[in-house]
Amino acid sequence: MSGERRFFRDREGEKILLLDKGKKGLLRLVFRRTAVTIFLLAAQVLLLAVAFLRLGEYYQNQDFVFSQGNGKPMHPDSVTDYLKKFSKRHGLPHINAHAFRHTMASMLYFNGVDSVSISKRLGHAQVSTTANIYAHVMEEADQRNADILSDIFLKKA
């Protein structure tokens, strides 16, 4: 059943799960149920509703959360093309969508989040995968934490 989408909440109501059964199998996205997440998803739904009202019968609702302006699925290169144009327009180095994953993981490590939690968020089956990929980040974060502890212990009163 290609194109089947379902939203679920976990038992505690803390997470929103989007299950999307497409041509390549089941895609599972997990969103933390926060005010920001709810706001952003609601804003996206509002944009879709505006597009639907604007296009009327020409809007092809296929239940995608993110789609082209006419409701059809986005082409996989759309985000890549947008980021390429955005980078060029603002004089930035090349940005690819996958880099956001690495940025998120690095930010979490530098803020003291444990590898198990980061691994879960990235969807890695094993923590060792995360540890291998982010070993350099973990080492740098550990050095930064050691420097912070040194400053704390050697702080003059």
Kindly report, residue by residue over 88-114, the tens digit of the pLDDT. 999 988 888 888 888 889 999 988 899
Kindly report, residue by residue over 34-78, the tens digit of the pLDDT. 778 778 878 888 888 888 899 988 888 877 777 888 888 888 788
What's the pLDDT at 1?
39
**What pTM was computed for the model?**
0.59
Domain that holds residue 157: 75-157
Q: Does 46 fall in a domain? A: no
Using a 10 angstrom Cβ sphere, with 0-12 exposed, 13-18 middle and 19 or more buried, the burial of residue 106 is middle
What's the pLDDT at 116?
93
Q: Does 36 fall in a domain? A: no
Q: Does 1 fall in a domain? A: no
**Contact by Cβ (8 Å): 133, 104:** no
Partner residues linked to 27 by β-bridges: 20
Q: Does 133 fall in a domain? A: yes
What's the pLDDT at 24?
53
Q: How many domains in the chain?
A: 1
Partner residues linked to 22 by β-bridges: 25
